[in-house]
């Protein structure tokens, strides 16, 4: 008997040309569709609509995730689903499931949480960065800070938090709904203020006068992570084995990154030839 399941998952966005399916491009959704077809959850060449598939957030190329969500109808055994999906996927890891009501759609989230990472040498004046970011909290018309694609650009940033986390300064943004590029454009403008390239008054004007076109910069996608998507009354059950598998995969990536950093260190101006 078919049931409706919601699944949470993460991915390394650097490996994909964004989330949404695109012809001739490797995307997160393309890989997920391939895995669902391989498991016969989705019939070959069938539309995802046949299983009422839906996704919570469509991240940009280069943007990673820890807690994105999808939902679909399936008769596949729930306890076997995550291992089966993870065995067929690279750079994507499913870690949690929830049985949901028939009318559940992932886009209808209660809250979304994004985190942007900054190294300290990217920031000019940290206090200026904080003050600039504070301008974006609350309800605004973000026309100058997003690609609305026909939707309203009025959004509410319910909470914004800046703090030091290990070697990074992290910026956490919480909203029920984000628009394409909105976090990266917010960060681009705030970073420019911190480095003295923009004045806070220019940022405030771009928010207060959305009809007056302004481009205040676009921060890189790689430091951005979708941390979580929350739903009222939905309890996701985390799979310990799936979490451990994801940790092992990421540990290999960390080891590769350390090796790359070591080699790159010999190219720095202060390095000495053998």
85 burial via Cβ count (<10 Å: 0-12, 13-18, 19+): buried
**Which are the catalytic amino acids?**
60
For residue 3 the two structure tokens come to: 């049931």
Say if residues 157 and 173 touch (Cβ distance below 8 Å).
Answer: yes
Element (H, E) at 247: helix 240-265
Four-residue CA torsion sign, 210, 159, 5, 181? positive
What is the residue whose two structure tokens read 């992290």? 170
Strand 54-55 and strand 159-165: pairing? unpaired
Element (H, E) at 31: helix 28-38
Measured CA to CA, the distance from residue 262 to residue 17 in angstroms comes to 28
CA distances 215 to 19, 72, 121, 194, Å, are 25, 39, 24, 17
């Amino acid at each position: 008997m078919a049931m409706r399941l919601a699944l949470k998952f993460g991915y390394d966005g650097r490996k994909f040309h964004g989330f949404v399916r695109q012809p001739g491009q490797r995307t997160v959704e393309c890989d997920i569709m391939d895995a669902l077809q391989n498991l016969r959850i989705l019939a070959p060449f069938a539309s995802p609509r046949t299983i009422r598939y839906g996704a919570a957030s469509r991240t940009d190329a280069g943007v990673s995730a820890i807690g994105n969500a999808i939902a679909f109808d399936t008769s596949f055994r729930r306890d076997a689903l995550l291992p089966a999906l993870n065995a067929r996927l690279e750079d994507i890891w499913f870690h949690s499931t929830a049985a949901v009501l028939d009318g559940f759609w992932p886009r209808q989230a209660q809250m979304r949480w994004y985190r942007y990472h900054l190294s300290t040498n990217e920031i000019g004046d940290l206090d200026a960065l904080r003050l600039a970011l504070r301008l974006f909290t609350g309800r605004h018309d973000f026309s100058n800070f997003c690609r609305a694609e026909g939707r309203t650009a009025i959004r509410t940033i319910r909470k914004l938090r800046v703090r030091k986390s290990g070697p990074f300064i992290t910026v956490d943004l919480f909203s029920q709904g984000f628009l394409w590029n909105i976090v990266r454009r917010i960060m681009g403008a705030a970073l420019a203020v911190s480095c003295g390239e923009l004045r806070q008054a220019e940022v405030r004007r771009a928010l207060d006068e959305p009809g007056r076109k302004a481009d205040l910069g676009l921060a890189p996608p790689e430091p951005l992570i979708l941390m979580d998507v929350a739903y009222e009354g939905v309890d996701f059950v985390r799979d310990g084995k799936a979490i451990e598998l994801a940790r092992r995969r990421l540990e290999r990536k960390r080891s590769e990154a350390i090796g790359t950093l070591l080699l790159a260190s010999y190219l720095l101006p202060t390095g000495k030839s053998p």
